[in-house]
Amino acid sequence: MRILLVEDDLRVASVMKSMLVRRGYQVEHAATARAAVEAAPCDLVLLDLSLPDGDGIDVCRALRTRDDNLAIIAVTARSDERDKVNGFRVGADDYVVKPFSMAELQLRIEALLRRAARGVAARQTREIGPLRIDFTAREVSVDAKPVALTRKEFDILASLARQPGVAVTRERILLDVWQTTWSGRHTLEVHIASLRAKLGQPDLVRTVRGVGYRLQAE
């Protein structure tokens, strides 16, 4: 999952990039409007609206015109309602006002990517390395060999498969699978251990210390 981070404050950009990389994202940084517009294609943009060489609103409009499926989150100190309205009008999918917590930003990124993942689910199947998942039939195979999973194990795998290669928080998995965060860490760990054993390739589901789990993308 590639993220374009558009932020002219180098200190803020460094902290954000470090946290995002730790969660499994590939991050490219652009400090100016021109660099943002000329950046390589990505999956999601975190866009500061106050840039030294142009207005982030214009950048948002240009990025949206180029790619209607691109996920864009405005991350800015502009809290005026007019700025928010303008941001949404030119194509922003979400709007986060500084200061914010990385936990909040992570949840907003996950929510936006889940919406995009519905298109993946609509394709019914997905192949990730040796792993093949049929979301409609709820069937899984590894190297073309069927793998029998329980309902919870399949739901955990599906939660991870929506964002292959990206660290998914324990809280997000618990919400996806149990619709609560009260099931407890031990319950999830037990199911993860069983899932790894059944897949026969433990490295497919990796632990991201302090965050959660990641489905290893090829």
Per-residue pLDDT of the chain (218 residues; tens, 9 = 90+): 789 999 999 999 999 999 999 888 899 999 999 999 999 888 899 999 999 999 999 999 999 888 877 899 999 888 888 888 888 989 898 999 988 888 888 888 888 877 766 555 555 788 888 999 998 888 999 999 999 999 889 999 998 998 888 888 888 888 888 877 665 668 889 899 999 999 998 889 999 988 899 998 76
Token pair 């789990």 in the structure block, residue: 213
Q: Which residues belong to CATH 1.10.10.10 in the chain?
A: 125-215
Q: Where are the alpha helices (DSSP H) in the chain?
A: 10-22, 33-38, 56-66, 81-89, 102-122, 151-161, 170-178, 185-199
Task: In the chain, list all ranges with CATH 3.40.50.2300.
Answer: 2-114
pTM of the predicted model as reported, rounded to 2 decimal places: 0.60
d(CA 60, CA 93): 10
Q: What is the CATH number of domain 2-114?
A: 3.40.50.2300
pLDDT at 178: 80
Could you give the strand order of the β-sheet that contains 145-147, starting from the edge strand earlier in sequence?
Answer: 125-128, 131-134, 139-142, 145-147
Looking at residue 169, what is its pLDDT?
A: 87
Task: Tell me the fold of 125-215.
Answer: Arc Repressor Mutant, subunit A (1.10.10)
